[in-house]
Amino acid sequence: MTLKFNKQQLEAINFYKGACAVIAGAGSGKSTVLLNRVKTLVRDYGEDQEDILAISFTRNTANELKKKLHKQKLTSVNVGTFHSVCRNILLKEGIEINEKNTIKEWQRENCFKSLEEKPDIKDITGFISYQKNFLRGYTDEFLIKESKYTEEQLRLFYKEYEAFKSKNGLYDYDDYLLECYKVLKNNKHKYTYEFILVDEHQDSNLVQNLILKELCASGNIFCLFDYRQAIYTFRGGNTEYCMEFEKDWENATVINLDTNYRSNKNIVDNANSFIKEYYGDYEHYADSVPNIHNNGEIQTLTYQDREAEGLNTADKIETLLKAGEKPSEICVLYRLNSHSSYVENELKRREIEYDITNNGSFFKRKEVKGIVAYLRLIRDPHDDAAFRDIFTLRNDPFRYFSNKNLKDVESFAGQTNMSLYEAMLNLRFDRPTQNDNVLKFQSMINKLQMQVLKGIAVEELIDNVVKTFRMNDYIEEKYLDEDEITDRKESLNTMKKFVKNNNLEQFINFVYGSKPSKKKNENAVRLMSIHASKGLEFKHVFLIGVEDGKFPHRKSDLLDEARLFYVGVTRPKESLYLSQIGHCNMFFDEYRQHELVC
């Protein structure tokens, strides 16, 4: 089958030498243009495959491009991510960065604990990575990035971190780029390509942009991007390098792929109206033009709380499925993973198969999984899987028990034909405090079992498990971010709402009658964060949880959040269900501004 390209697509595909920026709007056929441009360079212009480098943003998209090129017999084109390209260059220089010498989380923790007893690893490493992506060392002026620490503290952490890595011969993920950039600067023109193609250039950071200049001495660079879909600025991505492309590359050509082949007309038009408020003044801004002239279905819905949102979203999904729609063509999107819990609960209850991207199931959260494990052991002391979940939770009173202790329990259980719980009660540990803690745990379980025998309500039992095992303290000790602590504590209350008929057995069976399997189900309703949906499309999309402070998030830059919202509302092909919690939320109202006044 011969593909028919529009004028702008052909201009991009047939572009030969020089610098070219391709602004590829949502649904504009970007991947097809990239593939066919490589084909044109080789087959029409006679360029050697080895002289071409194609860089994609993720390993998955790079592998997908490689597969497509191989089908076209283009097996010698260089394809990879920035990190894989840099790794290969470093290997040629005798510098190997691999799994063994990449710093681990526990090593970071040990490093920072030399300065603070309970360091916020995520905060500190996020800040350091951000500065490194802008070539800022610990003695340089820092770029502004939100942190709970003072600038003086962050400088000390940064200095200690780099010293720790150097002393132990370790690298981090950012060092792939930084070390490669040093090699390229010190070996001018040693590693270059005649033609370079870059996908998702809106997410490139400073170091990546500088690496491109070293790799592409020819100036024959071809970058595809959509500044409206830049959603990784928190990692150092900077839209400046794509929006001001002409400043970095002489005599650059700018091409707008503005035809949207994905979505129905009103879905495209509404997305245009929303994002134009933020980018309408940009010199190369152009509305996306719908290729499909029929309108789709857009519903804007308001709910009092997330429970009502989850119930009604599941109702609508069930209606679509009964009408014959494929589950895989239905997707629920959200800003925060915690927003999916009520939808997931309702899908599970109705036995509708679903798949959650990045293992983000509510029931797999550590604190939720822990509570359910306690409930299982209370119900059945012979439940070995529940015992293992409790033991590995490392919560009081098992906080100072080791993996060796667990192996000893398992070995003793095997020798005596006991359950793991029974074996633990009968085994003598080396340390007296451990034996005391075993008796303490037995007493806790016994008292909770007595409550069950007396007919305690399941919701009250959950409350008592939380109190008995000090789960709120566990969350406060395990996590440092205030928002995450609040969110995880709230999950303990949320799970009580999933109890029906005051039946413990039924509740446990409900939780473990889990529909999302370890292996991805290709024919299931999809649940994912908006970040994970980038580059994907679905016939029906539910964008849930619009609520000021959470979406847009109070800790994020408003423009970053607006781009994220734009990504969400450009995923559907035929129908969009947009819902808010409460009234008069910013993005919801901006999207509906032609029909809603608060």
Neighbours of 94 (CB within 10 A): 6
Is 361 part of any known ligand binding site? Answer: no
**CATH class of the 290-353+521-593 domain in this structure:** alpha beta
Q: How far apart are CA 496 and CA 279, in angstroms?
A: 44
Does a cis peptide bond (omega within 30 degrees of 0) precede residue 572? no
92-99's contacts with Cβ under 8 Å and 24+ in sequence apart are 92/191, 93/183, 93/187, 95/179, 95/183, 97/171, 97/175, 97/176, 97/179
Q: Has 271 been labeled as part of a binding site?
A: no
Residue 164 contacts residue 111 (beta carbons within 8 Å): yes
Continuous segment of H or E residues that includes residue 278: helix 265-279
In angstroms, the CA 530 to CA 571 distance is: 9
CA angle 533, 480, 234 (to 5 degrees): 40
User: Coil, helix or strand for 256?
Assistant: strand
Q: Would you say the pTM of this structure is higher than 0.85?
A: yes
Strand ranges, E, within 311-407: 330-334, 354-356
Q: Do domains 290-353+521-593 and 364-513 have the same CATH topology?
A: no
Contacts 24+ apart (CB under 8 A), 323-328: 325/539, 325/540, 326/523, 326/539, 327/352, 327/353, 327/354, 327/523, 327/524, 327/525, 328/522, 328/523, 328/524, 328/525, 328/526
Confirm or deny that 27 is annotated as ligand binding.
yes
Amino acid in the structure at residue 21: A
Tell whether 31 is in a known binding site.
yes
Contact 419, 381 (CB under 8 A): yes
Nearest to 539 by CA among 329, 331, 332: 329
Distance CA 368, CA 365 (A): 5
Q: Is 126 annotated as a binding residue?
A: no
Does residue 397 have a cis peptide bond before it, meaning omega lies within 30 degrees of 0? yes
Distance CA 344, CA 363 (A): 9
Per-residue 3-state assignment (H helix, E strand, C coil) for 142-202: CCCCCCCCCHHHHHHHHHHHHHHHHHHCCECHHHHHHHHHHHHHHCCCCCCCCEEEECCHH
Question: Does the domain formed by 364-513 have CATH 1.10.10.10?
Answer: no
CATH class of 7-90+178-257: alpha beta
> Can you read off the two tokens belonging to residue 85?
């390209």
Let me know if 542 is exposed, middle or buried by CB neighbors in 10 A (0-12, 13-18, 19+).
buried
pLDDT, tens digit only, all 598 positions of the chain: 567 899 999 999 999 999 999 999 999 999 999 999 999 999 999 999 999 999 998 888 999 999 999 999 999 999 999 999 999 999 999 999 988 999 999 999 999 999 998 899 989 999 999 999 999 999 999 999 989 999 999 999 999 999 999 999 999 999 999 999 999 999 999 999 999 999 999 999 999 999 999 999 999 999 999 999 999 888 888 999 999 999 999 999 999 999 999 999 999 999 999 999 999 999 999 999 999 999 999 999 999 999 999 999 999 999 999 999 999 999 999 998 888 999 999 998 899 999 988 767 888 889 999 999 999 999 999 999 999 999 999 998 998 898 999 999 999 999 999 999 999 999 999 889 999 999 999 999 999 999 999 999 999 999 999 999 999 999 998 887 788 888 899 989 888 988 888 889 889 888 876 444 455 677 899 999 999 999 899 999 999 999 999 999 998 899 999 999 999 999 999 999 999 999 999 999 999 985 433 4
For the record, the structure tokens of 218 come out as 């020819």
Instruction: Report the distance separating Cα 27 and Cα 61, nearest Å.
Output: 16
Give me the half-sphere count of Cα atoms (radius 13 Å) on the Cβ side of residue 573: 10
Q: Which two structure tokens, joined as six digits, stand for 24?
A: 């590829």
- Decide if 576 contacts 364 (C-beta within 8 A): no
Measured CA angle at 315 (ends 337, 460), to 5 deg:
60
- Token code pair at residue 465: 């498990």
Q: Where are the domains of the chain?
A: 7-90+178-257, 105-170, 290-353+521-593, 364-513
Under 8 Å between Cβ of 367 and 488: yes
What would the two tokens of residue 498 be? 């999933």
Does 76 count as an annotated binding residue?
Answer: no
Q: Of 104, 98, 99, nearest to 164 (Cα)?
A: 104
425 contact partners, CB below 8 Å, separation of at least 6 = 438, 442
